[in-house]
Each structure stands twice: as structure tokens, then as C-alpha cells.
Structure 1
Amino acid sequence: MDPREREFVDRMGLVMERLGGTRTMGRLYAWLIICEPPHQSLTDLAARLGVSKTAVSTVARQLEMAGMVERVPTSGREHHYQVVHGGWEHVMRVQFALLRPAVEALEFGLSIVGDDRPEQRARLRDTKEFFAFVEYDGEQFLQRWQEYREKTAAGD
């Protein structure tokens, strides 16, 4: 990995860490974005990233479960991974789907806090309305993303 590639990989490690993942997760994902060939074995990933094969295996499985990478069939026994096109969109769809239980929990909260507690009800209502709005707008957001992608792809 040349120094500029390493800097990119390390920067993406920090980005993923800020998003709630691990630094290794971000570094692995970043390397899979730019590596050649586009799929890499666990051994190759561990060597390139300077982390244990066990750590790479764990992170690769987590990214696979999140829909961001996929295992590639190979003739050998060792697993190979590559980036999934649209992985971040998938992650956002999953996150938006998680908002429904939050809205339902907040609605339950409103049902147990009486009108004699207006400050608590106002906080509950405000929070519920925020989550409900994000849930509502999520599908529109993803539609706008698709439109944006089509528009920018036409300009390439």
C-alpha cells in the first residue's frame, strides 16, 4: 500500500469510528474500495492492514452482516471479500427501519404519562415527532439519492 492509499485507509478508519463502528472496520472497507483485484483474501487483508487475521475475519463478518461487503466464491478454502455496490444505502434502509420501534416506544410513553405532566409529554411528543419525521422522510431521502445518482452518472 503506498503512502497515499494508507492515508485514505486510515482516514476512513477514523470516519467509521465516528459513525459508531471500529477503526479496523473502516480501514478494511476503505481498502476493499481501492484494492486490486477488487476481492481479497483474509490473509491478504490482514497483511495489508497490519492487523491479525482473526480481527479481519471478525470485522469482515460484521461488514457482511451489514450488507457492505460480500464473500466471493473461490476455488480455495480461504474466504475472499469484496465491497457490495449500494452497501451504504442498505445500511441506511436498515437504520430507517429501526425507527419504527422507537416511534412505538415513544407512543407508549405518551400513553402512560398523563396530561397532568405537560413538560414530560412535550419532551416525549417532540422526540416522537422527530423520529416519525425521519422515518417518513427516509424513503423520500433514498428516492432522492437514486435520482441524484442517476443524474450524476449521466454526467460521467
Structure 2
Amino acid sequence: MARVDPSETEFVDRMGLIMERLGGTRTMGRLHAWLMICDPPDRSLTELAADLGVSKTAVSTTARQLELSGMVERVPTATREHRYRTVSGGWAEVMRVQLAVVRQSLDTFDLGLSILGDDRPGRRDRLQETRDFFAFALRDGEGMLDRWKEYRERSS
């Protein structure tokens, strides 16, 4: 990485591993981590590619994915150059998207329960437990996002 000291490199690389564990790509984690700590806080695709030691194509693809997920945004410029920066609240937005999938899953579990009926208790119990877990996770996740919003408002 150009312009990055060893401790910053370690942070960026560790975030790449964390993003992999969360189901993303290593480049996704590294790119987001670098945008959190770089100065200035917005970087062009060319700068990001040089800073991270990856191809401009990889940076472009990854930046678009992070933009779609609400983690980064394109910065308006006077030129056609694409510049990116992190978005405040990006992780909360990722959680909202995940909770929407959990919400959709409940409908599928309910369908499964209606198909099984009451005459198949063993299978129904396993499915009901899974449905109950997802319902709990949804309720608790939404509550966590509400508490997070309140926390951020108090901290500002």
C-alpha cells in the first residue's frame, strides 16, 4: 500500500479478514477500512487501487457493491472521476437489510408450518423453533437499531 504506515496496513488487513467472516470479500473489508481512516476522507478509484495494491477494476466493482449496501457513497466532483467516502450509519443500514431478509423468511417458515399441519409434530416442532428464533431475532434486531439511534442522538 502506498501512503499507508504499517499499523494502518495491519488494521486494513484485519478488517478484510473480518469482512470475509461476515460473508463479504477481503477487498470489501480492506476498502471500507481504508476509507474510514484515509486522509483526505474521499479517494478516487485510481488512488484506492494504488493505496490497497489491487486492480482498479477490483476497486470499482467493490466500491459499487459497498455503495449498493449503503456503506460508501460516491462523492460529487467537477470531473468525471469517481471518488468514494464512507457513509455515516452504513453498518446500521446493512443490519436493516439483513433484518428485511429475516422478515421475509418468516413468511416462508409460516408457509412450511401450514404445509406440515398438526399431524407431523416432530418436523413441525423443529420448523416452529426455527421460525420462533427468526421472529425473536427480528424483534430484538429492530429494538437494537432503535436503541442505537437513540444512543447516537444522545451522543451527538
TM-score, length of structure 1 as denominator length: 0.94
State the superposition RMSD in angstroms: 1.1
Q: Which amino acid aligns with 1:140?
A: G
Aligned residues: 153
80, 90, 105: which one aligns with 1:102: 105
Q: Using the alignment, how far apart are the partners of 2:115 and 2:93 within structure 1?
A: 35
Q: Deviations over 1:70-112 (max 9, x none)?
A: 0001112210000000000111111111112100000000011
Any idea what the Cα deviations from partners look like across 1:9-39, whole Å, max 9, x if unmatched?
A: 0000001000000000000000000001100
| 1:1-156 → structure 2 map (5 Å cutoff) | 1-151=4-154, 153=155
Q: Percent identity?
A: 67
Name the aligned partner's letter for residue 64 of structure 2: R
Q: Which blocks of at least 5 consecutive residues in structure 1 are unaligned? A: none
**Cα distance in 1, alignment partners of residues 117 and 141 from structure 2:** 31
Runs of 4+, deviation exceeding 4 Å: none
5+ residue gaps in structure 2?
Answer: none
The CA distance in 2 between the partners of 1:115 and 1:87, in whole Å, is 43
